[in-house]
Chains A and B, each alone.
Chain A
Amino acid sequence: MTKRTLSEKLAILSDAAKYDASCASSGGQRRGSRDGSGLGSSGGAGICHAYAPDGRCISLLKILMTNFCIYDCAYCVNRVSSRVERARFSVDEVVRLTIEFYRRNYIEGLFLSSGIIRSPDDTMADMVRIARTLRQQENFRGYIHLKTIPDAAPELIDEAGRWADRLSINVEMPTEAGLTRLAPEKSATGIRKAMAEVRVRREASRERSHTGKRKARFAPAGQSTQVIVGADAADDRAILTQSSTLYANYQLSRVYYSAFSPIPDASKNLPLIRPPLLREHRLYQADWLLRFYGFEVGEIAQKGMLDLEVDPKLAWALEHRAAFPVDVNRAPKEMLLRVPGFGTKTVARILAARRHGAVRYEGLAAMGAVMKNAKAFIVAPGWSPRGMTDDAALKTRFAPPPEQLSLL
């Protein structure tokens, strides 16, 4: 085989990495290099340095160390039975790309993943070596996200967490049965155990020793995971139930939902579909409702699938008209959060303004409320929805005209 150039390898190994949705670079440890002793900074809000025409942000250099893989996961472009071109980066090549991209302000850092080669331990050891070289040799203080390989040795996970800001491991499928069918070599228990291990280590790293000394930070930006949507028959309720369990079990920072998207050289076991992008979008909305709006899975995904026509919060409000209209000046925070068109910031502003006098209807738009969605569900001085709240045709005000659905 002829030796590939760096550019060819980069094309192959970033193409292979693009099905991972995560690109977060926020949170974690505050670091800087103002004193000139290193390169990079991190902490606080993440930055998206570019956007691809698929609407996804490019924040990190997202690449695989290698796309050789001994696993045969039906949904994956890099599975052993696929005929895609294969390549492998050396440690130095990854380090050089990261540093040179970073110096030109193209990226916030590195998101390194890999196919499984030889054994989980060998793969993880190589990834850890890249992170160590960046941190120790190059004094790199930008963001590093490492994918942890299930069943890798605890010492390797431990070292990975010391160099990386975030660790992640993908649960891939909403159900254990789906995982067994489509990713025969992966084990749901193995994945959960790895997440549990990261949580335990993160918590241990925050404790002070008896002398008051802090331990070394472990994955300060937390851990995340990804679920593929639409590759198996699991419904939204199953997906969201799994997410809420994962958030509670392992204190995840994020669960990413990735619509199963066509890949080159697809598997015979898994026919390609148009990626269910709108479904993916609704799942993200529902995920936010679970985490920041006090909703339970049973409330928003009662019917199994989320409504594609309207967002899940609006769908809930339409189903529970008895709880509305809500008096903006009297309702408790929990209820304001359930008003369609009110976000967490709007609610915080309403609560702050209420302390100084009545909030009028005309002032709500300035506080960030989306009045088109909110007005049927609230009362405030200057406004009463009258019969609008209980109007049988209320949903048609929000649902898109039917012809748009044919695109999806």
Chain B
Amino acid sequence: MHQVVLPVIGTVAAWRAEARRLAAGGVPPEAVSWRVGQAEADLFATQPPATGTPRQINLSRVAIKGLESALCHRDPERFARAYALVLRLSQGSLRWGDRADPAMRKVMLQAKAVHRDIHKMHAFVRFREVESTDPRRAFAAWFEPEHPIVEAATPFFANRFGDMDWVIATPAVTARFIAGQLSFSETESTQRPPADDTEDLWRTYYASIFNPARLMVKAMQSEMPKKYWHNLPEADLIPNLIRTAEARAAKMEAARPTDPPARRAAVARAMAMPEKTEAAPGTMEDLRRQAQGCTRCPLHGSATQIVFGEGPHDADLMIVGEQPGDREDLTGRPFVGPAGEVFDTEARAAGLEREQIYITNAVKHFKFSVRGKRRIHQRPNADEVQSCRWWLTRERALVRPKLIIAMGATACQTLTGSGAGLLRRRGTVEAAEDGMPVFITVHPSYILRLPDPAQQTAERVAFRDDLETAGHILQTLCQSAAQTNA
């Protein structure tokens, strides 16, 4: 039988080269035996029997990664198993990841065990500072992995501790990172580095972060098995923490509540100081402040915040939309989402300046339903519109605009009492209950919902025309108001 001896350092790379060579020579798996160690003098240096078909090995990247991990397992059979598997994979008689195949399943389980061991090494290596003559600080650690994983696991430390020199010694292999160079050698000394002062701080932290009222020893041990404990500086605290936990928890529960310290009263006095900026009653600021705590309908429950109107408090033109959307809810400002963008663009084109308009909504909280991680807009119902009218009425009374543009059915409903037949009514002026002229048009989000781009363009033009018409009406209203005053 042909024997392959792989080196202790660089085992996986050596296996890879050897496996390729043997496969290309058509050597069947049963004709090779593998081991790790020192190559002995050419005792078995027989030429391997080429009884199989020569093969070029081509594997997927996932397969290579999985195999290389499995080759870091301590199982001595791993090399032979992997070689046989590689041949079957390149023959096409086996699919990578087919767990129904016993050999494949074994390789995958071993790869998983190796990943776990590497992960635990990343977690449980504990460095201790050692003396250094260099400006770079130097650290050392002793660790006992379950599998020969040092070469696979230590590049992580090089990436993490790039600005210090370190040594991680394990029973078989030692990794050194000196002046930015990572190297491996066989371990000569099994001496542990001496403890350093910071370890006591760490032990203090470990003992304090533990909550004795929720003792769950099994959960701890499944993630931090005892086999790692003897190299962890915090582990010798564990038995005592467990022993005293129940008594500590019972003591907390039994303790009577105490009276608050004197500081409590002082802080309470300081915090009870009246707020400096109290808005005068009857102003827009006061109304806005009141609205922040609005619970008139259930919509405040899931929305972020109330989205109040915005704009000059003596504007001639007021715009009323339906309700805030996702963006508006997050930012607290009306018409800043996609529909707001449509409005801004078309209003500007129609000669209306947003800075001179008071913009608000018929309903001031966002109504939505949750679909996974998304919020789907829902139309407010009559009750919600009715409850929120309270705010709109007060906004109207304070701003006293000459013209209101109602955008969409909800705004129409709250202002004129009916939201029906919107498309028939658009472009016309109706009177609100108190006689204020209300110009009716569609909501810009209606345009965004149209599936056909050509139709969208047409509707945008119609919307702009509406706004232009409203602009003219407003001008006429302003002029006649000026004449009346004069």
A contact set with B: CB distance below 8 Å:
6-7, 10-12, 14-15, 17-19, 32-41, 45, 47-58, 61-62, 70, 72, 80-83, 97, 100-101, 103-106, 139, 176, 185, 189, 192-193, 195-197, 199-200, 244-245, 247-249, 251, 259, 261-268, 272, 274-275, 277, 294, 349, 352-353, 356, 360, 363, 366-367
Contacts and interface: CB of A to CB of B under 8 A. Distances in A.
Interface of B: 95, 97-100, 105, 119, 122-129, 137, 139, 141, 156-164, 180, 196, 198-202, 204-220, 223-224, 232, 234, 238, 241-242, 245, 249, 252-253, 255, 257-258, 260-261, 263-264, 267-268, 270-271, 292-293, 301-302, 304-305, 329-332, 368, 370-375
Nearest to A297: B370
Contacts of B129: 103-104
Given A10-B201, A36-B163, A61-B205, A192 B257 contact: no
Contacts of B257: 265-268
A366 B253 contact: no
A45 B127 CA distance: 21
B99 A36 contact: no
B216 to A, nearest CB: 3
B220 A80 contact: no
Contact of A54 (B119, B139, B220): B220
Contacts of A261: 211, 213-214
A352 B213 contact: no
B395 to A, nearest CB: 20
Contacts of B217: 53, 55
Given A47-B123, A48-B123, A193 B304 contact: yes
B330 A55 contact: no
A83 B100 CA distance: 62
A40 B211 contact: no
A267 B252 CA distance: 12
Given A18-B208, A53-B216, A193-B304, A104 B126 contact: yes
A165 B164 CA distance: 24
B201 A6 contact: yes
Given A33-B163, A139-B163, A196-B332, 15 more contacts: A10-B205, A34-B158, A50-B206, A51-B220, A52-B206, A62-B209, A97-B201, A189-B292, A193-B304, A247-B373, A248-B375, A262-B249, A274-B213, A274-B253, A277-B214
B271 to A, nearest CB: 6
B105 A185 contact: no
A334 B98 CA distance: 23
A265 B258 contact: yes
A141 to B, nearest CB: 9
Nearest to B182: A34
Contacts of B126: 104-106
A266 B255 contact: yes
A54 B267 contact: no
25 contacts: A10-B205, A15-B209, A19-B211, A34-B159, A35-B162, A38-B163, A49-B123, A50-B123, A51-B223, A53-B216, A53-B241, A58-B209, A61-B205, A104-B128, A106-B126, A106-B202, A192-B305, A195-B304, A196-B329, A244-B370, A247-B373, A264-B255, A266-B257, A275-B214, A363-B99
Contacts of B255: 264-266
A238 B37 CA distance: 63
Nearest to B210: A52
A3 to B, nearest CB: 17
Contacts of A268: 257
Q: Which of A106, A176, A267 has the most CB of B within 10 A?
A: A106
A248 B370 contact: yes
A101 B198 contact: yes
Q: Which of A12, A17, A36, A100 has the most CB of B within 10 A?
A: A36
Contacts of A352: 97
A38 B258 contact: no
Contacts of A18: 208-211
A82 B215 CA distance: 24
B66 to A, nearest CB: 14
A81 B205 contact: no
Given A33-B163, A105-B141, A193 B242 contact: no
B142 to A, nearest CB: 13
A259 B215 CA distance: 13
Given A53-B241, A53-B245, A196-B330, A105 B125 contact: yes
Nearest 3 A/B pairs, CB to CB: A55-B219, A55-B216, A81-B260
A72 B263 CA distance: 12
A225 B196 CA distance: 37
Contacts of B234: 50
Contacts of B206: 50, 52, 58
A104 B127 contact: yes
Q: Which of A10, A103, A251, A268 has the most CB of B within 10 A?
A: A103
B76 to A, nearest CB: 24
B136 to A, nearest CB: 8
Q: Which of B215, B257, B270, B305 has the most CB of A within 10 A?
A: B257
Given A7-B200, A106-B126, A17 B209 contact: yes
Q: Which of A139, A248, A268 has the most CB of B within 10 A?
A: A248
A32 B163 CA distance: 11
Contacts of A294: 372
B160 A33 contact: yes
A245 B370 contact: yes
B162 A36 contact: yes
A53 B242 contact: yes
A106 B128 CA distance: 11
A47 B330 contact: no
Given A49-B123, A83-B258, A356-B95, A11 B208 contact: yes
Given A70-B271, A81-B261, A105-B141, A248 B198 contact: no
A275 B213 CA distance: 7
A356 B98 contact: yes
B123 A41 contact: no
A15 B264 CA distance: 21
B370 to A, nearest CB: 4
Given A41-B160, A83-B258, A53 B202 contact: no
A394 B255 CA distance: 45
B220 A39 contact: no
A240 to B, nearest CB: 11
B209 A53 contact: no
Contacts of B160: 32-33, 39-41
A215 to B, nearest CB: 18
Contacts of A10: 201, 204-205, 208
Contacts of A48: 123, 223
A97 B219 CA distance: 28
B132 to A, nearest CB: 12
A392 to B, nearest CB: 33
Nearest to B155: A34
Nearest to A252: B373
A18 B206 CA distance: 11
Contacts of A264: 252, 255
A33 B264 contact: no
Given A248-B375, A267-B257, A275-B214, A50 B370 contact: no
A57 B127 contact: no
B159 A32 contact: yes
A137 B375 CA distance: 42
A122 to B, nearest CB: 14
Contact of A55 (B95, B99, B180, B218): B218
A221 to B, nearest CB: 17
A262 to B, nearest CB: 4
Contacts of A259: 214
Contacts of A19: 211
A34 B214 contact: no
B200 A249 contact: no
